[in-house]
Amino acid sequence: MNRRFVVTGGPGGGKSMLLEALAERGYRVAPEAARRLIKERLSSGLPPRPDPVSFARAILNSDMEQYRAATNNEGITFFDRGVLDALYMLDLESALSRDEIASLVGAFPYNETVFLLAPWEAIYATDSERDQTFKESVAVFEGMKRWYARWGYETVEVPRAGVAARASFILEAIGHPGV
């Protein structure tokens, strides 16, 4: 079994808090690259994002590094977004050919079950790293759902519930209930 699980979706769905809860339960978590890159840019006095292609390439490089780091880990790793998310961004910009994308999808496989969190208006808020509107967040969510399915992944929507219930839902789905 591939022990690398992606948690993805649109901004504002509660991914970060959910992944923190999984980490508190002893699971390894790979944080989202985009937020870190935006924070680094802002702290350097730069605009939050460079051009879309440069931003997506930086995210892709970071995600590939995190993936490789998880290779040495025998346990389960939950990824706050995955290599495919960055490839989706690059595809939107026509920055890679389908063959290049297919090669990278094949080189960085995750567990076939991908957990998808829909944007949740009740908890949605913008901040210095999240500047998308709720409508844009919904569009990203729908795009991720189609994108992962296109590459053969089964997307499982995590129900809107409290953080602990969401973490339990994911752990039960992967056969780790009660952990």
Residue 25 lies in a domain: yes
End-to-end CA distance of the chain: 19
- List, for residues 1-25, the tens digit of each pLDDT value: 799 999 999 888 888 899 999 999 9
- List, for residues 66-90, the tens digit of each pLDDT value: 999 887 777 899 999 999 999 999 9
Single-letter amino acid, residue 22 = L
Residue 178 lies in a domain: no
Helix (H/G/I), strand (E/B), else coil: 148: helix
- List, for residues 25-53, the tens digit of each pLDDT value: 999 999 988 878 888 888 889 887 788 99
Single-letter amino acid, residue 3 = R
Residue 179 lies in a domain: no
Give the pLDDT band of residue 146 (cuts 50, 70, 90). Answer: very high
Structural domain for 63, as ranges: 4-173
Residue 60 pLDDT greater than 60, yes or no: yes
Q: Which residues contact 64 (CB under 8 A, 6 or more apart)?
A: 83, 108
Read off the CATH number of the domain in which 142 is found. 3.40.50.300
Q: Which residues contact 148 (CB under 8 A, 6 or more apart)?
A: 6, 8, 84, 114, 116, 155
Average pLDDT over residues 170-174: 96
Residue 26 lies in a domain: yes
Only one residue has tokens 């690059």, namely 90
Residue 58 lies in a domain: yes
Residue 56 lies in a domain: yes
Name the domain count of the chain: 1
pTM, two decimals, is 0.90
